[in-house]
Amino acid sequence: MLFDYDKWQEIVSALKKNKLRTFLTVFGVFWGIFMLIMMIGAGNGLKNAVYDGFQNFATNSAFMWPQRTTIPYKGYKRNRSWNFTTEDMVAIRRSIPEIKYLAPRLQGRALDGGGRVVYGIKTEIFDVSGNYPDMKNINPLRITHGRFLNEVDMVNRRKVAFIGNRVHELLFEDEDPIGKYIYIQGIYWQVAGVFEPENKKINIGGRTEESVYLPLTAMQQAYNLGNQIHYISLAANEDVDVEQVINKAKRIFAEQHTISPDDERAFGGFNLSKEFQKMNGLFTGISVLTWIVGIGTLLAGVISISNIMLIIVRERTKEIGIQRAIGAKPKVIIQQIILESVFLTTITGYFGLIAGVGLLALISSAMANAGGDNEFFKNPEVSFEVAIISLTILILSGVIAGFLPAKRAVSIKPIDALRAE
């Protein structure tokens, strides 16, 4: 049946009898699959842009900082200010083995001069901070000159500085900064490395490319900051929920600083893992909605196919009666009508699929040629799996669209069909 040349000629001939009607009918299927592909591609473009913002970043991470207390506890009044300490870091490292990376930080705002950095006759304001080597594992950096902060710098409290690429440009221009000294609030620091962020869409504690990193221990000593730490970044092991790590850390901090265990507002924080999961849920919802709307649009086209097949069956009632009278079995009639329906949906749907994929490719190419980094839309695309699923839906839709007209055709008695005008 499938390779019967005469049957295919008959199908094409039937469709050609009313070209306008055929075109208007199949356009619904074309438009349905085209819109489905475009919506999926647009959703993927938005998803790619957002996920690109998390590229190379430790998504199973969190950030914590101390805030004023809000609950009186053990003789201490509410509204008490406090700080993390170096001892706190030792305690949570020892007590929470689920922590993969821990990066305490000192902010430059603790200095009288803030982030004023001087080199020669040039003075600029940058984000100055004291850091631990693990920072680069949470917020990945690319070293462009020299090296990065290491454990020896921390132990020996070396007065070395690591500067962002924008700091390099503004202070040193084309000059090699390695080995040169910059002046920060009364202290000279030797530049040991230049870095740039691997991901420029997420900035922790200021713009990374405009940052100056100092060894935290050296900054504590040089600026009389004692053992205080302003906030911490941490990343949990891959198989651990970072929220559990945060809760354990809060309990340790509360015990160390005599804070009520119920005083949640004494801690500020940001759970990047939770935000990432929210976005996963958002895009799952967008994907489901896209398929619902797309398939709904496609079904509208399929219904029109079914309607035209009913009209075709009515027009060919006498012809079907003759076929039945000379011995054609009902299943042959059903196969022929369903084949016509599948032919219509598959061919027009295929062209809709090609048109949608082609337009997405043109949009992606145009965006790439235009240059610039679009933060909200990137590389709209559909996967091969989606294309296969779409074609499968088309074929099944064709079968469904042809089944009712086919049943209508074989329900007519041959003698009644022969009498039809």
Is 369 within the bounds of a domain? yes
Same domain membership, residue 337 and residue 248: no
Same domain membership, residue 249 and residue 136: yes
Same domain membership, residue 281 and residue 252: no
CA–CA separation, 321 and 319 (whole Å):
5
Is 271 within the bounds of a domain? no
Is 74 within the bounds of a domain? no
Same domain membership, residue 335 and residue 289: yes
Considering only 30-34, 252-256, 410-414, which range has the smallest mean pLDDT? 410-414
Considering only 136-140, 238-242, 297-301, which range has the smallest mean pLDDT? 297-301
Split at pLDDT 50, 70, 90, the class of 1 is very low
CA–CA separation, 126 and 117 (whole Å):
7
- Per-residue pLDDT at 164 exceeds 70: yes
Indicate the residue among 221, 256, 291 that finishes a domain. Answer: 256
What confidence score (pLDDT) does residue 315 get?
61
- Residues 6 or more apart whose CB falls under 8 angstroms from that of 277 comprise none
Same domain membership, residue 382 and residue 248: no
CA–CA separation, 308 and 348 (whole Å):
15
Across the range 21-29, mean pLDDT stands at: 71
What's the domain count of the chain?
A: 2
Q: What percent of the chain has pLDDT over 90?
A: 32
Is 76 within the bounds of a domain? no
Indicate the residue among 222, 256, 290 that finishes a domain. Answer: 256
Give the count of alpha carbons within 13 A of 364, CB side only. Answer: 19
Considering only 36-40, 92-96, 142-146, which range has the smallest mean pLDDT? 36-40
Q: Among residues 207, 234, 276, which one has the least CA distance to residue 59? A: 276
Considering only 242-246, 378-382, 405-409, which range has the smallest mean pLDDT? 405-409
Cβ-contact 69, 79 below 8 angstroms: yes
The CA-based angle 65-70-74, given to 5 degrees, is 105
Domain of residue 31, residue span? 5-54+277-419
Is 349 within the bounds of a domain? yes
Same domain membership, residue 242 and residue 168: yes
Q: Among residues 386, 291, 305, which one has the least CA distance to residue 342? A: 305
Considering only 72-76, 290-294, 313-317, which range has the smallest mean pLDDT? 313-317
Same domain membership, residue 90 and residue 217: yes
Same domain membership, residue 152 and residue 217: yes
Same domain membership, residue 293 and residue 235: no
Split at pLDDT 50, 70, 90, the class of 344 is confident
What confidence score (pLDDT) does residue 169 get?
93
What confidence score (pLDDT) does residue 326 get?
66
Considering only 16-20, 239-243, 340-344, which range has the smallest mean pLDDT? 16-20
The amino acid at residue 311 is: I
Higher pLDDT, 417 or 147: 147
CA–CA separation, 306 and 323 (whole Å):
22
What confidence score (pLDDT) does residue 275 get?
76
Across the range 173-189, mean pLDDT stands at: 92
Same domain membership, residue 146 and residue 98: yes
Is 269 within the bounds of a domain? no
As given in the structure block, the two tokens for residue 70 are: 């809000």
Is 157 within the bounds of a domain? yes
Same domain membership, residue 408 and residue 373: yes
Same domain membership, residue 156 and residue 187: yes
Split at pLDDT 50, 70, 90, the class of 294 is confident
Is 75 within the bounds of a domain? no
- pTM reported for the whole predicted model: 0.68
Cβ-contact 194, 177 below 8 angstroms: yes
- Per-residue pLDDT at 2 exceeds 60: no
DSSP E strands, 237-344: 267-271
Distances (CA, A) of 293 to 3, 11, 286: 36, 31, 10
- Per-residue pLDDT at 190 exceeds 80: yes
Across the range 324-342, mean pLDDT stands at: 69
Q: Is 78 exposed, middle or buried (0-12, 13-18, 19+ CB in 10 A)?
A: middle
As given in the structure block, the two tokens for residue 191 are: 């530049």
Q: Is 219 left (phi over 0), alpha (psi -120 to 50) or beta?
A: alpha
- Per-residue pLDDT at 406 exceeds 60: yes
Considering only 102-106, 126-130, 405-409, which range has the smallest mean pLDDT? 405-409
- Per-residue pLDDT at 416 exceeds 60: no
